[in-house]
Structures are given as C-alpha cells and as structure tokens.
Amino acid sequence: MSNEKNHVSENAFVGENVKFGNNVKIWNMAYVGNNTKIGDNVMIGSLAHVDYDVKIGSNCKIEGLVYIAPKCIIGNHVFIGPSATLTNDPYPPSTKLAGVIVEDNAVIGARSVVKAGITIGKNSVVAMGSIVTKDVPSDSVVVGSPAKIIYTRAEYDAKMKDWEGSSKY
C-alpha cells in the first residue's frame, strides 16, 4: 500500500495483498477484499463492500452501501451511486462466476443492479434504480427494469448542464 496521502478509516477492513494507488480514501466500515487493486484518487464510501479480486481504475467515486462482487473490473473516472450492486453469479448458486465490467467514464446510479457478466460501455449512464440484464453500449443512457436505452450520453450531459444552470433549488 502506498502511503502517499491515503486515508483508510480505522473502522474499515482491508484484506491481504490489496494494492493502493495514491490519494485513496476509504471511509467508515467499508470492506476491501483480498487481492484487490485500486488506482489513484479513488474514494470508497462508508459501508461499501468491494469484494476480492476486484480492479478499480483511477479517479473513481464509489458511494456508500455499494456492493462490488468478486472479479469485477471498474475503469477510470467511474461514478457508482449509493447502494448500487454489481453481481457475479448469473445463476446462483453457480460454481462459475463472471464479474461486471464498467468501462471508463461510466455512471451507475443509486440502487441500480447489474447482472453478472455484463459490460457497461464507455461514457454510458445507468439511471438510478435500473436493473441491467444486457450489455450497455458506449455513450448511451439506460433506465428501467429491465434497463433500456432512452437517449445518448450527449443528451444526458446537456440535461445536466441545463439542470446545473437553472435557478431551481
């Protein structure tokens, strides 16, 4: 573990052979399993559970109560909202596991659930509460149960910009 500006709460659990980049923050009662690799500038929120053999890129924010199953791979600049769940067993209790792949710049909203073996494409957004049962193409926004494409990432970004510029709230 690099000690350069890392903050791991004394209430957090960090397993064996965990590799940290620089400026990693792990908050209260979070769990990081064995053989996990975490890049630079990553924040893992309180009560999050990052299981064993997970890879997390740099500049990621993983909010509280998130569950990331073993064998998942998270790219760079990824945001995962509170209570989202990434699974690794499409037919529980199977003896064959497959993690979720979340590519660079993706956003996964609060309380979303992603089925094992799914890829969330680069620059894509999974809306809060969605249940993802199929791969999400790059640059798309999905919503619902099961999640379906509703518009592009460019449209999402425009809506965010309008929201941020509005006087509402």
- CA of 61: how far to CAs of 6, 16, 39, 86, in Å? 15, 22, 11, 15
In what order do the strands lie in the sheet containing 79-80? 7-8, 25-26, 43-44, 61-62, 79-80, 107-108, 125-126, 140-144, 147-152
Q: Is residue 1 part of a domain?
A: no
Considering the domain boundaries, does residue 50 fall inside one?
Answer: yes
Does a structural domain hold residue 96?
yes
**Does 1 score more than 60 pLDDT?**
no
CATH of the domain at 34: 2.160.10.10
CA atoms 45, 51, 52, 54: torsion sign = negative
Number of folded domains that form the chain: 1
Are 70 and 88 within 8 A, CB to CB?
yes
For 144, list phi and psi in degrees, rounded to 5.
Answer: 105, -170
Range of the domain at 120: 7-165
Weakest-pLDDT range from 4-18, 51-65, 72-86, 125-139: 4-18
For residue 153, the 8-state DSSP code is H
Q: What is the mean pLDDT of the chain?
A: 95
60 contact partners, CB below 8 Å, separation of at least 6: 39, 41, 42, 43, 74, 76, 77, 78, 79, 80
Does residue 99 have a pLDDT over 70?
Answer: yes
Report the distance separating Cα 110 and Cα 1, nearest Å: 29
Interval 15-26 mean pLDDT: 97
pTM of the model: 0.95
Please indicate, yes or no, if residue 2 is contained in any of the structural domains: no
> Model confidence at 58, in pLDDT bands (50, 70, 90)?
very high
User: How many whole angstroms separate alpha carbon 46 and alpha carbon 62?
Assistant: 9
| pLDDT above 80 (res 57) | yes
